[in-house]
């Protein structure tokens, strides 16, 4: 049996418009010893027909069809099927540089790294206002600001401060991180990456950063991350609790990371409040209010004004937001500002 250096896992669900560009960029990868695992998660558009056509042209593709189960179970199905030394994920509405995995795998082997992280390009089609084809797409480089090895504790701190983003797709993971530590994606509809990537970073020995942008992250209005629901708010906090439990179980990690975790929790509470009150102002929907209050009550009660003010890792913006959340005035201020902005349009 041939050696597989990298298993590339592509979850697919209703992305017929973007799927061919994604598949072409992965199939044409310059790394030789790879396997491409595509999981069709019960797509109801033309994705299945597209995949059948690609399978005829490229018989080496591993295509798994399953009933719609969500992004987490789709990625887990790919993990179960993977045999490579390293694991990579590509979202089916994105695309990648043709040498992405050759560069990342070579760096992993050269540096004996368990995880390699590269920069990415935020890629967004402009809404019919561009002057030329060169201006049709908005692109900007995002990710890390340095290249080379990074200490694990430093990486976890940057992760909790959102300096290392909680995305699965710009990282190459040694498969043993998943198999030996029994790490799987939780059944979340949003932020399923967050606890998984925290755990793989925490379980790694060596982490290497590549400053070159190799991944194109497409921004779409229909993205699940933009959809509001009570379940999404519960998932955000559940991801926090997975990380908190891991940190508190290790005295060394607790000492070095707990204040960074507190920053992450405050930012998560802000995101939840912001999503709820945006939805409220846009739709006038009030039926979710009691559920919203119930979800955030415990964490809001646990906030301490003195700790918010003295936390040197919180920016002024987040200190103000945290104090508004703690005093339960965030919604009132948000609605006033929302109405003011609406009048100015």
CA dihedral of residues 230, 222, 263, 252 (deg, nearest 10):
90
- Give the pLDDT band of residue 269 (cuts 50, 70, 90): very high
Residue pLDDT, tens place only, 281-296? 999 989 999 999 999 9
Q: Distance (Å, rounded) from C-alpha 119 to C-alpha 209?
A: 8
The confidence score (pLDDT) of residue 3 equals: 85
In this predicted structure, the answer to whether residue 102 has a pLDDT above a threshold of 70 is: yes
Element containing residue 337 per DSSP (H, E): helix 330-344
Residues 6+ apart with CB under 8 A from 174: 85, 86, 87, 108, 114, 115, 204
Which domains are present in the chain?
6-223 (3.90.550.10), 230-344 (no CATH)
- Give the pLDDT band of residue 2 (cuts 50, 70, 90): confident
Q: What does the angle CA 55 – CA 58 – CA 59 come to, to the nearest 5 degrees?
A: 70
Q: Out of 131-135, 216-220, 230-234, which region has the weakest mean confidence (pLDDT)?
A: 131-135
Mean pLDDT calculated for residue range 98-110 = 98
Task: Report the chain's terminal Cα–Cα distance, integer Å.
Answer: 63
CA dihedral of residues 270, 272, 273, 276 (deg, nearest 10):
160
The confidence score (pLDDT) of residue 234 equals: 96
In this predicted structure, the answer to whether residue 227 has a pLDDT above a threshold of 90 is: no
In this predicted structure, the answer to whether residue 137 has a pLDDT above a threshold of 70 is: no
Q: Distance (Å, rounded) from C-alpha 345 to C-alpha 15?
A: 34
Mean pLDDT calculated for residue range 198-218 = 96
φ, ψ (nearest 5 deg) of residue 340: -65, -45
In this predicted structure, the answer to whether residue 339 has a pLDDT above a threshold of 60 is: yes
The residue among 343 and 185 whose pLDDT is bigger is 185
The confidence score (pLDDT) of residue 155 equals: 97
Mean pLDDT calculated for residue range 176-197 = 96
In this predicted structure, the answer to whether residue 233 has a pLDDT above a threshold of 90 is: yes
The confidence score (pLDDT) of residue 133 equals: 53
The confidence score (pLDDT) of residue 340 equals: 87
In this predicted structure, the answer to whether residue 327 has a pLDDT above a threshold of 60 is: yes
Residue pLDDT, tens place only, 3-42? 899 999 999 999 999 999 999 999 999 999 999 999 999 9
CA distances from 293 to 51, 264, 265, 311 (A): 44, 20, 16, 25
What is 152-185 written as a DSSP string? Answer: HHHHHHHHHTTSS---STTEEEEHHHHHHTT---
Mean pLDDT across the chain? 92
CA 329 to chain centre: 30
β-sheet bridge partners, residue 140: 122
The confidence score (pLDDT) of residue 47 equals: 98
Q: Which among 200, 139, 137 is positioned nearest to 167, based on CA atoms?
A: 200
């Amino acid at each position: 049996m041939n050696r597989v250096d990298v298993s590339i896992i592509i979850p697919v669900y209703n992305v017929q418009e973007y799927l061919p560009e994604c598949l072409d960029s992965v199939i044409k990868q310059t790394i030789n010893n790879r396997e491409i695992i595509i999981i069709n998660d019960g797509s109801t558009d033309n994705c299945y027909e597209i995949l059948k056509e690609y399978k005829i042209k490229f018989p080496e593709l591993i295509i798994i069809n399953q009933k719609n189960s969500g992004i987490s179970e789709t990625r887990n199905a790919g993990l179960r099927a993977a045999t490579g030394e390293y694991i990579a994920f590509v979202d089916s509405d994105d695309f990648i540089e043709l040498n992405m995995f050759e560069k990342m795998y070579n760096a992993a082997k050269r540096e004996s790294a368990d995880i390699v992280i590269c920069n990415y390009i935020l890629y967004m089609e402009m809404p019919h206002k561009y002057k030329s084809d060169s201006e049709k797409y908005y692109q900007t480089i995002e990710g890390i600001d340095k290249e080379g090895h990074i200490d694990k504790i430093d990486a976890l701190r940057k992760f909790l401060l959102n300096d290392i983003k909680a995305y699965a797709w710009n990282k190459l993971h040694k498969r043993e991180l998943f198999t030996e530590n029994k790490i799987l994606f939780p059944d979340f509809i949003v932020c399923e990456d967050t606890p998984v990537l925290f755990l793989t970073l925490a379980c790694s020995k060596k982490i290497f950063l590549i400053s070159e942008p190799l991944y194109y992250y497409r921004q779409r209005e229909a993205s699940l991350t933009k959809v509001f629901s009570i379940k999404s708010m519960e998932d955000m906090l559940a991801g926090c609790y997975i990380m908190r439990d891991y940190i508190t179980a290790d005295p060394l990690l607790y000492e070095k990371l707990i204040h960074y975790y507190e920053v992450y929790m405050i930012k998560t509470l802000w995101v939840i409040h912001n999503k709820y009150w945006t939805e409220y102002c846009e739709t006038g929907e009030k039926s979710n209010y009691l559920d919203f209050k119930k979800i955030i009550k415990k964490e809001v009660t646990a906030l301490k004004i003195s700790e918010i003010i003295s936390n040197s890792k919180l920016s002024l913006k987040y200190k103000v937001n945290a104090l508004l959340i703690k005093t339960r005035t965030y919604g009132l201020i948000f609605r006033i500002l929302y109405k003011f902005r609406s009048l100015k349009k």
